[in-house]
Amino acid sequence: MSDTYIPGTCNLGKSEVRRRQIVALGGALLALFSGIGLTGASLAAQATIFLPFMVFAIGYVQSRKKFCMAYGFAGAFNLGKLGEMAKVSDPADRAADRKMALKILGQAALLALALTLGFIVINL
């Protein structure tokens, strides 16, 4: 794991990655319990499982990429202790971070959509 900020590639340290893993786990548990409750529900109700899957997917993708989507949009990074954010000063670096943040958002949305469709198909 890199301990250096790399524009568009790495803006999280070990403790921040762990936090994203916890978010992913929380989203997975929320999706599991929601899925149990939505079994046999209408198609529109089943589609609401997209939200817990999105929580899971955002945490998962961020932890795998070691890059925080929100930090990327805000022009910040944290490679130290939780809460010790630093600002990205170079405009080109901020642009690279925004590009990666958008990529993560898209990947998470596609993963959540695929999981949602899989859930719906299983419950047909």
Domain range list for the chain:
14-122
Average pLDDT over residues 16-28: 96
The stretch 100-123 carries a mean pLDDT of 97
Q: How confident is the model at residue 2 (pLDDT cuts 50, 70, 90)?
A: low
Q: Give per-residue pLDDT as tens, 36-81.
A: 999 889 999 999 999 999 999 999 999 999 999 999 999 999 998 8
Alpha helix (H) residue ranges in the chain: 14-38, 43-47, 50-65, 69-74, 91-122
